[in-house]
Amino acid sequence: MSWDYGSCAVALYESTPGATYKGIAADLGVSRGSLREWVLRMIRRKPEEWRHMANPVEP
């Protein structure tokens, strides 16, 4: 999976303690609905891959 803007936005959302769709979307200048859809799409499309990307292992 490539790291496009949506993927990076989802990673930021997932890695920020206490994050809300509204807060992260405002920080990034995107709509809350877009961020929510990106998160749901990422989880549905490749859940095992997303878990790895959301919790990267240091080499």
User: What was the pLDDT predicted at 1?
Assistant: 37
pLDDT tens for the chain, residues 1 to 59: 346 888 889 889 988 999 999 999 999 999 999 999 998 888 887 766 655 555 544 43
Residue 33 lies in domain: 5-54
CA nearest 3: which of 33, 38, 48, 34?
Answer: 38
Residue 42 lies in a domain: yes
Residue 59 lies in a domain: no
Q: What is the largest CA-CA distance in the chain?
A: 35
Structural domain count, the chain: 1
Provide CB contacts within 8 A for 17, sequence distance 6+.
Answer: none
Give dist(CA 13, CA 17) in Å, integer: 8
User: What was the pLDDT predicted at 49?
Assistant: 61
CA nearest 21: which of 37, 32, 6, 5?
Answer: 32
User: What was the pLDDT predicted at 26?
Assistant: 96
